[in-house]
Amino acid sequence: MVMFDAGDAVEEMAWDFTKYGGGSGVIPEPSDLAIEKFLRKFNVLVTQVSRAATRRAAESDAALLEAKDDEGKDRLLTLEESLEALKKIDLSETNTAPEISEAMLVLVCTLTKNNPSKTQLKKLPNRVRGAFYGWLVGQLTNPEFSAAVTRPSLSLVSGG
């Protein structure tokens, strides 16, 4: 008989930053409300990032980064649109990069209850931190993916 065993349904959200001196641990299982708040705030942050990039983007690229409703008004990006937008955004030439990076750190640490902490996350190179963010969003939205599956990078700032 095939049985659903909640204890084996998903793997714990273990992380290991030891290669970069950041330790390791397990993210406590977030509540439904915590996940909903995180994803909502994440979408708001990504929408803000994409709009900042749109202001600098060439006109031909701007349409790829903006989200409009049926009436032509600005709207929040969907999670899928957010992930795609983040792949296209380079904020290295703007002064908004530190604020965006800090906002993402706060957002992630709130969800993970500081496991990992901001200090631990900051030890990671930017691309590795972005990959961790992508893995985390993947765990929240589709935990059946294994850790071996390539996740989209959520690197919010170029450089580090």
Read off the pLDDT of residues 97-123 as tens digits, 9 standing for 90 and up.
677 788 899 999 999 999 999 999 999
Pick the most confident of 37-41, 98-102, 153-157: 37-41
| Average pLDDT in the chain | 77
Least confident of 22-26, 28-32, 80-84, 126-130: 80-84
pLDDT band at 147 (very low <50, low <70, confident <90, very high): very low
Give the HSE-up count for residue 46: Cα atoms under 13 Å, Cβ half-sphere: 27
Query: Is the confidence at residue 134, as pLDDT, over 80?
Result: yes
What are 40-55's pLDDT values in tens digits?
898 888 777 766 665 5
Q: Is 29 strand, coil or helix?
A: coil
| CA 137 – CA 139 distance, rounded (Å) | 5
What's residue 129's pLDDT?
A: 92
Tell me which residue has tokens 């001196």.
Answer: 21
Q: CA nearest 55: which of 95, 103, 84?
A: 95
What are 66-101's pLDDT values in tens digits?
666 777 777 766 767 766 666 555 555 555 567 778
| CA 154 – CA 31 distance, rounded (Å) | 22
